[in-house]
């Protein structure tokens, strides 16, 4: 047995054990470790990593001495114990993100405002040069969350897939492919190291009957969930998205999804954020999951319109994250061909109503495949404007009021200010990214003349009782 | 019932002096609109004057849709409302170019129940030997829309798309009579940019949910078109004129279809698809064998670009990749 002897708070502690290779180690061998801090015991699942190697990963959440003891149905891996020291987190490590009211914060209390983007299959081609490019793009972007799939789609022919056997028609769904998962989790680690949350999508309905991933049966589904959780949960930047467009999978019922989400709860010792993303019949139907269910931490929504955000928040007091609201793009699908103006209008509508909106880009003609599928570079006009919006949102303090005027062109607006205090007022052009102060300090009511064009906002900042 | 193709709103145009009224009539005559929604305002003008105005509209081929219960008419109880209906309806009912709207906003009459509105509409019918169209403008999910007494639905909604979802199974025609006005006023419903108005009008038309126009730019007299008539200055109107032409050339039997963009279709004969805010690079259509005339319509630039006469089967139509494109395909004899 080898294991880490020191680790930072919310870092990854790992135990490596040698064990049996015969039979089906993925199915036959049970392994976990009971980690103990003072009298508190937290049990983490282990997993088989191929070639007779077994691992347990653990994310300690307290500074000080920890101990562990393994539990296994294989004698030589049972009852192995050790101790290690947990030190303070390195700069930039604020721990996992959790829901706080209708917003989010890191475990150390630092506020977290999700500005997500999507590159569903950025790891699947194992193209290291493009992955490095994706990471560079993210690093210089406003985005701090990335939606990414574990499973490839039917039409893809990636070098490795999550299951063992011959791809695509001879897969052994009872065995996993450690090579695939080592690469996937390296991607999650890389995102962690640049401060990006990994919103990991466990299932999607895009198999097209090629590998049978949409209908693997309850036992395989749950073994898959357990394996992914055992491998990834110790990374602090992980979020669980049970599915993309859950309702487009005709082989599973809502009860099946409930069951999958409960299985995540059962295996994840850290209570990472959990949600599930719906499909839409655009402009007519959006089959949102019942986010009131106790295993849901936030409302992951696909919708074409951000204005129902108030209603979603009123119906369910959990954060609203509109993970998909159409992408800036020019392709032949209507989910992927709105303008940056349209996308930014939807961002401001959602954010000014207390929700969070996610980005995606499906611009053809710049690289082999667009960002939304494989990452790479971003070419659109929205990321700069999302960066501007992010700055505005992060500058909000108690006493800051934001009012988005939307796709209207009023010549003036009248703003009623909370009684008793004085306010400075600024005019924000969300498209040109300018902030223009309105002269003076204002009380009770201010009338602001406007340039008669859409996409403007007002920011009112309390400056005390002057 | 002929419900189209195009209406505007000028609620109190008839309360103004003759100079402004003739300007309003001239504007209407040269506009794409053939119906005007106006409040009866029978407590602010005489019934004689109202009749004369309605007759003037008839003279230029415009229908007067008279909104009977308008807030500010001091008709706040059902008794008074009934008397008002008995006064107004018989006087105007003989004019062929009249429609009735019970109100544009039932929520402004908190004392009136759904039952009261139905009773008032029945009363209108009882007093109307001309059997004119009769509606009430309500939110798309209001049960009032579905009551038998109304000849068609009249919806107040932020967009025809929202209204369509709630009214798609309605067995009567449905109009989008209140969707907001083009303008620059402070009220968000009075400051729509023209692009949004044109988009809603096209989207509504291909869903057979025709939009009623309104405009609220303040003129030199401090008045606006939709309150006071006058002159139309917005950028939407000329674009609505093109839409009117296109709709006038659309067969009555065309039905709404939706792949991933709304379309009016007579299979094998006629297709009109509107792409709205979606920048499709191209569109393909599977049509029966035959020869078809194919056109791309830029609804904002007001251009109709012929792509020639193409063979049926699969018709591929390249698009410019900008918003507001429509495609029209018509069988050649």
Q: What angle do CA A120, A124, A127 make, to 5 degrees?
A: 115
Q: Which of A87, A112, A134 is the last residue of a domain?
A: A87
Mutate to test the interface with B, among A335, A370, A404, A410 (most CBs of B within 10 A): A410
Q: Which residues of B230-264 are buried (b: 16+ CB within 10 A; e: fewer)?
A: bebebebbebbbbbbebbeebeeebeeebebbbbb
From the list A330, A337, A414, which residue is nearest B186 (CB)?
A414
Residue A352 within a domain: yes
Q: Is A17 contained in some domain?
A: yes
What is the rounded CA–CA span in Å between residue A226 and residue A222? 6
* Nearest neighbour of A337 by CB, restricted to B186, B196, B280: B280
Same domain as A271, residue A147:
yes
Chain B partners within 8 Å of A337 (Cβ): 278-281
| Best CA proximity match to A404, nearest among A358, A342, A461, A349 | A349
Identify which of A26, A439, A452, A6 has the alpha carbon closest to the alpha carbon of residue A231: A26
Low-confidence ranges of chain A (pLDDT < 50): none
In a domain, A189, yes or no: yes
The verdict on A133 and A19 lying in the same domain is no
In a domain, A363, yes or no: yes
A412/B186 CB distance under 8 A: yes
Tell if the pTM clears 0.90, that is, is over it. yes
Q: Is the peptide bond before A168 cis (omega within 30 degrees of 0)?
A: yes
Angle at Cα B302 formed by Cα B298 and Cα B304, nearest 5°? 65
Task: Specify whether A300 is located in the same domain as A434.
Answer: no
In chain B the domains, ranked by start, together with CATH numbers, are: 7-249 (3.20.20.80), 255-332 (2.60.40.3950)
pLDDT band at B45 (very low <50, low <70, confident <90, very high): very high
The shortest C-alpha distance from B58 to chain A (Å) reads 35
Q: What number is the average pLDDT over the span B10-34?
A: 98
State residue B1's pLDDT score: 46
Residue A24: which CATH number?
2.60.40.10
Alpha carbon distances (Å) from A55 to A17, A36, A61, B108: 6, 18, 19, 68
- A370 and A228 fall within a common domain: yes
Q: What is the pLDDT of residue B170?
A: 82
| A390 and A420 inside one domain | no
What kind and span of H or E run contains A54?
strand A53-58
- Among the candidates A58, A87, A116, a domain finishes at A87
**A300 domain-assigned:** yes
Residue at A276 is within a domain: yes
In the predicted model, what is the mean pLDDT of residues B310-327? 97
Is the same domain home to A233 and A366? yes
Kindly list the residues of chain A whose beta carbon comes within 8 Å of any beta carbon in chain B.
282-285, 307, 329-334, 337-339, 342, 364, 405-414, 452-454
CB proximity B260 to A under 8 Å: yes
Domain count within chain A: 3
Residue B2: pLDDT band with limits 50, 70, 90? low
For the domain that residue A420 is a member of, what is the CATH number? 2.60.40.3950
Please give the span between the terminal C-alpha atoms of chain B, in angstroms, as a whole number: 29
Q: Quote the minimal CA–CA distance from A322 to chain B in Å.
A: 19
pLDDT at B146: 82
The pLDDT mean for chain B works out to 95
Question: A330, B281: Cβ pair inside 8 Å?
Answer: yes
Instruction: Let me know: does A195 contact A92? Beta carbons within 8 Å.
Output: yes
pLDDT of residue A369: 95
pLDDT higher than 70, residue B86: yes
| B3 burial via Cβ count (<10 Å: 0-12, 13-18, 19+) | middle
Report the distance separating Cα B46 and Cα B65, nearest Å. 17
Q: What are phi and psi of A334, to 5 degrees?
A: -75, -15
Q: Are the CB atoms for B40 and B70 separated by under 8 Å?
A: yes
Q: Which of A316-320, B17-21, B71-75, B153-157 has the lowest mean pLDDT?
A: B71-75
A interface mutation test: which of B277, B281, B317, B325 has the most A CBs within 10 A? B277
How many angstroms separate the CA of residue B279 from the nearest CA in chain A?
5
Domain hosting residue A48, numbered range: 2-87
Say how far apart CA B115 and CA B100 lie, in whole Å. 18
What is the distance between the alpha carbons of residues B86 and B80, in angstroms, rounded to a whole number? 10
Q: Is B191 on the interface with A (CB under 8 A)?
A: yes
Residue B168: closest CA among chain A residues belongs to which residue? A284
pLDDT digits (tens, 9 = 90+) for B102-156: 999 999 999 999 999 999 999 999 999 999 999 999 999 898 988 889 999 999 9
Distance CA B222, CA B66 (A): 24
A43-64 tens-digit pLDDT: 999 999 999 999 999 999 999 9
């Amino acid at each position: 047995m080898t294991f880490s002897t020191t680790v930072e708070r919310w870092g990854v502690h790992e135990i490596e054990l040698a064990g049996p290779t015969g039979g089906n180690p993925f199915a036959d061998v049970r392994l976990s470790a009971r980690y103990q801090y003072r009298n508190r015991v937290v049990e983490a699942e282990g997993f088989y990593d191929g070639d007779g190697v077994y691992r347990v990963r653990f994310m300690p959440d307290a500074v000080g001495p920890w101990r562990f003891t393994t539990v296994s149905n294989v004698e030589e891996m049972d009852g192995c114990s050790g101790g290690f020291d947990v030190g303070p987190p390195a700069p930039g490590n604020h721990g996992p993100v959790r829901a706080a009211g209708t917003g989010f914060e890191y475990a150390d209390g630092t506020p977290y405002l999700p500005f997500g983007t999507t590159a569903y299959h950025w790891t699947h081609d194992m193209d290291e040069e493009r992955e490095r490019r994706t990471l560079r793009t993210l690093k210089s972007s406003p985005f701090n969350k990335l939606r990414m799939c574990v499973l490839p789609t039917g039409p893809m022919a990636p070098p490795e897939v999550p299951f063992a056997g011959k791809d695509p028609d001879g897969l052994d769904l009872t065995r996993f492919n450690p090579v695939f998962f080592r690469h996937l989790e390296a991607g999650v680690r890389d995102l962690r190291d640049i401060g990006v949350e990994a919103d990991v999508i466990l299932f999607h309905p895009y198999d097209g009957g090629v590998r049978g991933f949409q209908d693997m049966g309850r036992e395989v589904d749950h073994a898959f969930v357990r394996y992914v959780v055992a491998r990834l949960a110790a990374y602090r930047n992980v979020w669980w998205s049970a599915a993309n467009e859950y309702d487009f999978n005709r082989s599973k019922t809502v009860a099946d999804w409930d069951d999958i989400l409960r299985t995540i709860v059962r295996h994840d010792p850290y209570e990472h954020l959990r949600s599930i993303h719906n499909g839409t019949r655009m402009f007519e139907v959006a089959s949102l999951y019942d986010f009131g269910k106790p295993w849901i931490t936030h409302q992951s929504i696909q919708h074409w319109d951000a204005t129902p955000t108030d209603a979603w928040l009123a119906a369910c007091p959990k954060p609203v994250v509109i993970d998909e609201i159409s992408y800036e793009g020019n392709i032949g699908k209507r989910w992927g061909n709105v303008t940056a103006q349209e996308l930014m209008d939807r961002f401001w509508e959602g954010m000014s109503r207390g929700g969070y909106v996610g980005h995606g880009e499906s611009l053809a003609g710049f690289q082999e495949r667009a960002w939304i599928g494989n990452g790479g570079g971003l070419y659109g006009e929205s990321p700069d404007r999302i960066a501007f919006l992010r700055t505005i949102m992060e500058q909000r303090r108690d006493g800051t009021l934001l009012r988005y005027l939307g796709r209207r062109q009023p010549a003036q607006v009248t703003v009623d200010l909370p009684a008793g205090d004085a306010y400075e007022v600024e005019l924000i052009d969300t498209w040109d990214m300018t902030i223009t102060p309105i002269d003076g300090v204002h009380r009770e009511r201010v009338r602001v003349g406007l340039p008669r064009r859409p996409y403007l906002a007002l920011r009112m900042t309390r400056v005390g009782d002057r | 019932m002929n419900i189209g193709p195009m209406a505007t709103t000028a609620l109190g145009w008839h309360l103004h002096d003759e100079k402004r009224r003739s300007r309003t009539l001239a504007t209407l005559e040269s506009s794409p609109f053939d119906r005007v929604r106006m409040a009866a305002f029978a407590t602010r003008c005489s019934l004689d004057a109202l009749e004369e105005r309605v007759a003037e509209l008839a003279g230029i081929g415009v229908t007067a849709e008279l909104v009977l219960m308008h807030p500010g008419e001091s008709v706040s109880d059902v008794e008074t409302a009934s008397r008002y209906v008995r006064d107004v309806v018989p006087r105007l009912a003989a004019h062929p170019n009249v429609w009735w709207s019970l109100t544009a906003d039932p929520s402004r009459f908190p004392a009136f129940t759904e039952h009261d509105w139905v009773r008032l509409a029945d009363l209108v019918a009882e007093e109307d030997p001309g059997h004119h169209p009769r509606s009430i403008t309500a939110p798309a999910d209001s049960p009032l829309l579905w009551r038998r007494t109304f000849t068609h639905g009249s919806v107040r909604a932020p967009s025809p798309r929202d209204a369509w979802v709630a009214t798609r199974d309605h067995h009567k025609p449905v109009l989008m009579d209140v969707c907001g006005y083009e303008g620059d006023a402070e009220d968000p419903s009075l400051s729509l940019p023209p692009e949004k108005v044109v988009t809603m009008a096209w989207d509504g038309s291909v869903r057979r949910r025709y939009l009623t126009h309104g405009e609220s730019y303040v003129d030199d007299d401090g008045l606006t078109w939709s309150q006071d008539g006058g002159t139309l200055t917005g950028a939407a109107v000329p674009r609505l004129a093109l839409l009117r032409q296109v709709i006038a050339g659309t067969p009555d039997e065309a039905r709404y279809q939706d792949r991933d963009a709304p379309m009016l279709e007579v299979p094998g004969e006629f297709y009109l698809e509107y792409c709205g805010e979606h920048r499709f690079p191209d569109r393909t259509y599977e049509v029966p064998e035959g020869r078809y005339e194919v056109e791309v319509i830029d609804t904002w630039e007001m251009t109709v670009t012929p792509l020639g006469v193409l063979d049926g089967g699969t018709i591929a139509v390249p698009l410019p990749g900008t918003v507001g494109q429509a495609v029209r395909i018509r069988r050649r004899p």
